[in-house]
Structure 1
Amino acid sequence: MAKLPSVSDLTSLSKEEVKAFFSNIDTVLVDCDGVLWFGKNPLPGSMEVINRLKELGKKVFLVSNNATHTPEQYVKKCSMFGTKVDKNDIIIPSVVIGEYLKDQNFKGKAFVIGSQAMKQTLTDLGIECIGDNDELQEESLIGFTDNLKSLDLNTEAVILDFDLKLNYLKLVKAVVLLGQSNSTYIIGATDFNVPITPEITIPGPGYFENLLASVTKRKPIIAGKPSPVVAKVISKRHPLVPERTVMIGDAMTQDVLLGNNCGFHTILVLSGVSSLEDATRYPDNKPTYYTSTLGDLLPLLQ
């Protein structure tokens, strides 16, 4: 059996070694859910670490696959937890999608399977959204068909993301629109598992992307982690030097993979999705360091 690659615990380093590591870092990208907080509760010491990194002169971006909040709501949440962040430092799929479509000079309508917050953010960025979160789940085939007939086939983009009100009708509408040759297909979060509390994890949009792909044979543009498109949006706001950038997150297949795709340093935090076993399972996607919680770094950054 092949020997598993080892990953170093960042908190096992001395203060001098941690200082030396961060002295070579200009930009910090940090995930939110499972790293900074769970729902309404901040993880102990996490926001204090963000404050300390900012005090040390690091440029900090919050890079989340969760677009169920607007950037303004992220700013407000951070403020409640004692950390000041700028709206432009919030990088979420709705922001990335809006920026991508603007770069493509997109002028059409977008059918959105996603949260109201995602639609609001896209609308604020000048994207016309259709597809209502409160669409009825038709219980008769006739009513279902009539609803489909009302679909605007000139809609030029289909956007898939996390939607607590997802239903069969929305998926079928997406299938119909993806059958149009000129349609653009974009997915925000590709996560398969979404932790909503330390004890509860629910299915993410990745499962529904697989379903649509099996029917339509279409592959989407990815506008969430681990796609390098995310880094391109950040680089328009702040220069990214890969060897002086670190990605901190709790998910190997989103956070660590984004960092490795872009040549960044990576820190896996074990307070969310992935375990230390996950970190050693794939030698081609190994984090630079790991730590049990982000708050564990606070004493080493003083």
Structure 2
Amino acid sequence: MSRSLPKNLAKFTKPQMESFFGSFDTVLTDCDGVLWLYNNVIEGSNSVINRLIEMGKKVYFITNNSTKTREELAEKARVMDFNVGFDNMISTAFLAAQYLKKQNFNKKVFIVGSTGISRELDEAGIAHTGVGPDIMQGSIITMVKENFVPDPEIGAVIVGFDEHISFPKMMKAATYLNNKETIFVATNTDERFPMPGFVIPGTGSIVRGIETCAERKAAVMGKPENYLCKVFFTEEMLKDPSRFLMIGDRLNTDILFGKNNNFQTLLVETGVHKMDKVNEIIEDLDKNGNADKNLENQVPDFYISRLGDLFNNFD
């Protein structure tokens, strides 16, 4: 089966790089694992983004991380010397709030998540239960009979990253979702976060647990789902999707999102996935000899070790 294999931008000549830079107008970039790792900028990523902006490219930071608001993301980027602002930020906490707002939602939200979600709901004028620890007190029977009285005003459940996830939170979320009229929203389904030497469970681990006990599927806001395109980009902007470049470190979110939208895609190897994972996918596709679109769309068009190396062969 013939397919286009990823091209290593580190091996491009200057004329090839000139052609590459001329092939897109809009850059969509993931944040964690591409631009920074937690609170540390990845060397050279800010210089590359700033230079792309100087070249006239429109740049948007697109993160599945729901722990921060758009304003908080813009401030984090500013501190790290990225020349971007509030309008360049697209976060799943914001998308979740907009999802409800566009439905004229007028009830209360039960949150499994963090302040990124609660603050974006506040900004949208939507009532919610708040965030923070909800620790198991006593037995399940005690919790059901004495410690939990379902709030009849709850009309939606939003699930995002929650370092305080607990049995009571899962039970309450599933109880509210037992009412089929309750809206079920997940910010993203990332399985894990990049952290050398450790596995940090991601939002997807929490979402899948609640989906299992609720026996329902959530509407997912983040990559690879397409809701953010509906919110941020008009049909006119998306008329020529090949003029978009999606940069990411995850194949099953960033690259899949880009390919599903017919954007060009660039994998950087500073986060979750490396080229060895891409090669595994290609081998699997070749071995099975079938066209698995979900797998095929996880193969990027280009790759590079880190974003900071992007201009090495151009100058």
TM-score by length of 1: 0.93
CA gap 1:270/1:184 in 2 versus in 1, 3 angstroms: same
Aligned to 1:166: 165
| 1:242-261 paired onto structure 2 within 5 Å | 242-261=241-260
Aligned to 1:15: 14
Offset at 1:206?
1.4
Offset at 1:5?
6.6
Identity of aligned residues (%): 34
Q: Secondary structure at the match of 2:311?
A: helix
Q: Are 1:225 and 1:255, in contact at CA under 8 Å, matched by a contact in 2?
A: yes
Query: Which of 214-223 and 147-156 deviates more?
Result: 147-156
CA gap 1:228/1:183 in 2 versus in 1, 3 angstroms: same
Q: Are 1:34 and 1:271, in contact at CA under 8 Å, matched by a contact in 2?
A: yes
Q: Are 1:35 and 1:293, in contact at CA under 8 Å, matched by a contact in 2?
A: yes
Offset at 1:22?
1.9
Q: Are 2:113 and 2:131, in contact at CA under 8 Å, matched by a contact in 1?
A: no
Aligned to 2:290: none
**Distance (whole Å) between structure 1 residues aligned to residue 305 and residue 236 of structure 2:** 29
Structure 2 gap ranges (5+) = 282-294
Q: Are 1:52 and 1:301, in contact at CA under 8 Å, matched by a contact in 2?
A: no
| 1:78-227 paired onto structure 2 within 5 Å | 78-146=77-145, 149-195=148-194, 197-227=195-225
Query: Which of 137-146 and 122-131 deviates more?
Result: 137-146
**Distance (whole Å) between structure 1 residues aligned to residue 52 and residue 205 of structure 2:** 36
Aligned to 1:292: 305
What is the total number of aligned residue pairs between the two structures? 300
Q: Deviations over 1:222-253 (max 9, x none)?
A: 10111011222221599234111011000001
Aligned to 2:38: 39
**Distance (whole Å) between structure 1 residues aligned to residue 133 and residue 205 of structure 2:** 22
One-letter identity of the residue aligned with 1:223: M
CA gap 1:301/1:88 in 2 versus in 1, 3 angstroms: farther
One-letter identity of the residue aligned with 1:6: L
One-letter identity of the residue aligned with 2:243: R
**Distance (whole Å) between structure 2 residues aligned to residue 81 and residue 289 of structure 1:** 26
Structure 1 gap ranges (5+) = none
Offset at 1:140?
3.1
TM-score by length of 2: 0.89
One-letter identity of the residue aligned with 1:285: Q
Q: Secondary structure at the match of 1:33?
A: coil
Q: Are 2:69 and 2:116, in contact at CA under 8 Å, matched by a contact in 1?
A: yes
Query: Which of 111-120 and 145-154 deviates more?
Result: 145-154
Q: Are 1:153 and 1:177, in contact at CA under 8 Å, matched by a contact in 2?
A: no
Show structure 1 runs of 4+ deviating over 4 A.
2-5
One-letter identity of the residue aligned with 2:278: A
CA gap 1:56/1:300 in 2 versus in 1, 3 angstroms: farther
Q: Secondary structure at the match of 2:82?
A: coil
Offset at 1:207?
2.0
Q: Are 2:114 and 2:131, in contact at CA under 8 Å, matched by a contact in 1?
A: no
**Distance (whole Å) between structure 1 residues aligned to residue 3 and residue 208 of structure 2:** 30
Offset at 1:73?
1.7
One-letter identity of the residue aligned with 1:160: V
Query: Which of 66-75 and 160-169 deviates more?
Result: 66-75
Q: Secondary structure at the match of 1:156?
A: strand
Q: Deviations over 1:236-289 (max 9, x none)?
A: 599234111011000001100110111111001111001202223143431110
